[in-house]
Structure 1
Amino acid sequence: MDWQDDGIVLSARRHGETGSIVMLMTEGHGRHAGLARGQRLRAQLQPGARVRAAWRARLSDHLGSYALEPLDGGPAALIDDPLRLAALSSACALVEAALPERAPYPAIHQGFDALLSALEGDFWDAAYVQWEIGLLGALGFGLDLQRCAATGVNDSLAWVSPRSGRAVSLSAGEPYRDRLLPLPGFLVGRGEADPPAILAGLEMTGHFLARNLFAQAHLNVPPARERFVERYRKMATTSGSLPTS
Structure 2
Amino acid sequence: MEWSDRGVVLTTRKHGENDIILEALTTEHGRHLGLVRGGRSQRHRPVLQPGNELNLTWKARLTDHLGSFQVEGNTLRAANLMTTGVGLAGLQHLAFLLKLLPERHPYPRLYDALNVVLDHLDAPDAAAALLIRFELELLRDLGTGLDLSTCAATGQSDDLVYVSPKSARAVSQDAGRPYHDRLLSLPSFLVEGQRQAGSELTWLDVTQGFALTGFFVTRHVQENNRTTAGTREQLLSALERRYREDFPWNFQP
1:225 Cα deviation from its structure 2 partner: 2.6
1:78 Cα deviation from its structure 2 partner: 2.3
* Aligned residue runs from structure 1 range 54-203, under 5 A: 54-95=57-98, 97-121=99-123, 123-188=126-191, 189-191=193-195, 192-203=200-211
3-state SS of the aligned residue for 1:176? Answer: helix
2-structure distance, mates of 1:29, 1:221? 25
Alignment of 1:50 with 2:58, yes or no, is no
3-state SS of the aligned residue for 2:35? Answer: strand
2-structure distance, mates of 1:115, 1:44? 19
1:242 Cα deviation from its structure 2 partner: 2.9
3-state SS of the aligned residue for 1:66? Answer: strand
Partner of 1:242: 252
Partner of 2:19: 19
Residues 136-188 of structure 1 deviation map (CA, whole Å, 9 limit, x = unaligned): 11221111111111111111111000111111111111110100000011111
2-structure distance, mates of 1:151, 1:85? 43
* Overall identity of the aligned pairs, in %: 41
Partner of 1:31: 31
Structure with the bigger percentage of helix: 1
In structure 2, what residue type is equivalent to 1:218?
N
2-structure distance, mates of 1:162, 1:178? 11
Tell me the TM-score normalized by structure 2. Answer: 0.88
Task: Give the number of aligned pairs.
Answer: 241
Change (3 A) 1:117 1:231: closer
In structure 2, what residue type is equivalent to 1:81?
T
The alignment's C-alpha RMSD in Å is 1.9
2-structure distance, mates of 1:165, 1:49? 34
Answer whether contact 1:20 1:42 (CA < 8 A) is retained.
no
Gaps in structure 1 of 5+ consecutive residues = none
1:82 Cα deviation from its structure 2 partner: 0.7
2-structure distance, mates of 1:134, 1:155? 22
Answer whether contact 1:48 1:92 (CA < 8 A) is retained.
no
1-structure distance, mates of 2:169, 2:237? 26
2-structure distance, mates of 1:220, 1:205? 16
Larger mean CA deviation between 179-188 and 42-51 belongs to 42-51
Partner of 1:218: 225
Tell me the TM-score normalized by structure 1. Answer: 0.91
